[in-house]
Amino acid sequence: MDGWAERVGTVRVVGTGVMGRGIAQLAAAGGLTVELADVRPEAVAAAVEYVSGMFGKLVAKGRMTAEDAAAAKARLRPVDGPLAPADGCDLVIEAVREDLATKRELFAGLEKVCPEHTVLATNTSSLSVTAIGAGLADPSRLAGLHFFNPVPLMRLVEVIAGARTAAWLPGALTGLVRRLGHEPVLAPDTPGFLVNHAGRGLVTEALQILGEAVAEPADVDRIARDVLGLRMGPFELLDLTGLDVSHPVLESIWTGFYDEPRLRPSRITRARMEAGLLGRKAGEGFYRYVDGAKQEPPEARPPPPRRVRSGCTTPSRACGTPSPPCSAGTSSRASARRPMRWCSSPRTGAARWTWRASTACPPSGCWASIRSAVSPRGSPSACTPAWIRPPGGPRWPRSPRPDGPSRWCGTRPRRWRSGCWPRS
Ligand SMILES: NC(=O)c1ccc[n+]([C@@H]2O[C@H](COP(=O)([O-])OP(=O)(O)OC[C@H]3O[C@@H](n4cnc5c(N)ncnc54)[C@H](O)[C@@H]3O)[C@@H](O)[C@H]2O)c1
């Protein structure tokens, strides 16, 4: 419908939680009158206070004039419940909890109180827009309008057409998103749409790493920030979003793709959600939050150095004590070429060699990975090869002996225990 985006004057935001208040801020700052509604009146009051506070901060930072902030604040209008008369609404954006039955019921009620011209939009992260619209008498008036958190800062907005969405609607919503200064992208109505589907590569994999005890959340996040260059790591993102939102999203994407194994959700998020460890909003998630500030756990320290007599390639049995002289039969050649240290495996407590020249032992989870990485039945893990194979060190066997043990147990160059593979 030509010019719809420019004509929109009033939008109702239903569900004034994390997303609803962000959408309200963006719309009010963009010149729209914003009706705010929630099943919990206190959530509306909190949203008005929050958004007003955000305008105040923008004024203090010089990003908004005091007059514009006052005008935007005045455009925030709490209404008496989600199904209050909506005669003046051009658009309703729903941002209630991620549950198909809840959203369907809400839209069925909204359809009755909104005039025919009102466009309905859902901010669902992962549910099918088609399925949400199927509960409507006129599903052509519903589309997906998927904002990201925090809404004012995350400029990308996915616009999704359901199977029965009117043909003009995606273009019209695209125009409105641009009018508000954000960047629309048309996305297919598939589970997770574009961004959340792609994001599984990060979040689902990170949960897998945690489930296998390869690394702690803080380590994974550090790697995501420092190595991948992301603004936040997967566990920080889960805490920001809240597990009450993220876990249903994980499940709905998985079931939406008919139990595709690579999208399988984690028992960890279910258990933590049930325990109320939701993230920032609960004050505790994968991290703890004090007055809203994340408490960074101290970086894992390497165990205290164990003394190995310089030049020996066999560790002393007496951990942490000065090593006895090299016993007969040990060689000093390897350590002379490559400085070595030894670390105790956190699983077995047994001392093992690592070829790493640095002072740090492998992260605890890497011991399992060291074993799996050299096993043809295991798969290489997130542990960097440097932990597993020394530069210029022994080569891993290319293929297992057909009838041999699936264990590579060479500990030193040119030394292979009986029953292990020969060097390739
Ligand atoms: N949190 C995120 O990072 C994020 C990002 C993108 C999309 N989303 C989607 O946005 C929606 C809302 O997520 P959120 O994080 O803002 O949740 P939230 O829990 O912070 O807020 C949800 C609000 O909806 C209200 N509510 C629940 N049922 C209602 C109903 N029937 N009628 C009216 N209000 C109702 C609740 O009282 C609450 O205030 C979900 O569909 C979610 O998937 C969330």
Residue pLDDT, tens place only, 274-304? 999 999 999 999 999 999 899 988 776 666 6
Binning pLDDT at 50, 70 and 90, where does residue 374 land?
very low
Question: Which whole-number Å values give the CA distances from 330 to 209, 258, 316, 325, 403, in the listed order?
Answer: 37, 57, 12, 10, 31
> Which of 18, 247, 280 to probe ligand 1 with, by most ligand atoms within 8 A of CB?
18
pLDDT computed for residue 113 by the predictor: 97
What integer pLDDT is reported at residue 322 of this predicted model? 37
CA of 233 to the centre of ligand 1 (A): 22
pTM attached to this predicted model: 0.72
Ligand 1 centre and the CA of 125: distance in Å? 10
- Can you tell me the distance from the alpha carbon of 298 to that of 203, in angstroms, rounded to the nearest whole number? 23
Q: Characterize the bridge pairing of strands 119-122 and 91-94.
A: parallel
What is the rounded CA–CA span in Å between residue 402 and residue 125? 48
3-state class percentages of the chain: helix first, strand second, coil last, to nearest 5: 40, 15, 50
The residues near 231 (Cβ < 8 Å, ≥ 6 apart) are 225
Q: What is the Å distance from ligand 1's center to 7 Cα?
A: 27
The full set of domains in the chain, from first to last, is 8-187 (3.40.50.720), 195-295 (1.10.1040.50), 306-396 (no CATH)
Q: pLDDT tens across 328-363, in order?
A: 333 333 333 333 444 444 455 444 444 333 444 445
> Which alpha helices (DSSP H) does 147-293 contain, by range?
169-179, 195-211, 217-226, 234-241, 243-256, 267-274
Of the chain, the percentage scoring pLDDT greater than 70 comes to: 71
Distance 210 CA to ligand 1 centre (A): 27
Residues 68-73, mean pLDDT to the nearest whole number: 98
Residue 73, SS3 per DSSP: helix
Strands 33-37 and 76-78: parallel
d(CA 40, CA 43): 5
Buried/exposed 219-241: b ≥16 CB within 10 Å, e otherwise: bbbebbeeeeeeeebbbbbbbbb
Q: Which residues are catalytic?
A: 125, 146, 158, 196
Residue type, 331: S
Tell me, what's the pLDDT at 25? 98
The secondary structure element, H or E, covering residue 21 is helix 18-29
> At CA 162, angle to CA 203 and CA 108, rounded to 5?
100
pLDDT band at residue 74 using 50, 70 and 90 as cut-offs: very high
Residue 211 — φ and ψ, nearest 5°? -65, -30
- With tokens 């597993």, the residue in question is 388
pLDDT of residue 364: 46
Nearest CA to ligand 1 atom 18: 17
Residue written as tokens 């006129």? 138
Distance between CA 310 and CA 104 in Å, rounded? 71
Binding pocket residue ranges, ligand 1, CB within 6 Å: 14-20, 38-40, 43, 82, 95-98, 102, 106, 123-125, 148-149, 241-242, 245
Q: How confident is the model at residue 2 (pLDDT cuts 50, 70, 90)?
A: confident
Q: Ligand 1: which of 97, 98, 195 to mutate, most ligand atoms within 8 Å of CB?
A: 97
3-state class of 146 per DSSP? strand
Residue 167 has a pLDDT of 97
**Percent share of the chain, pLDDT over 90:** 67
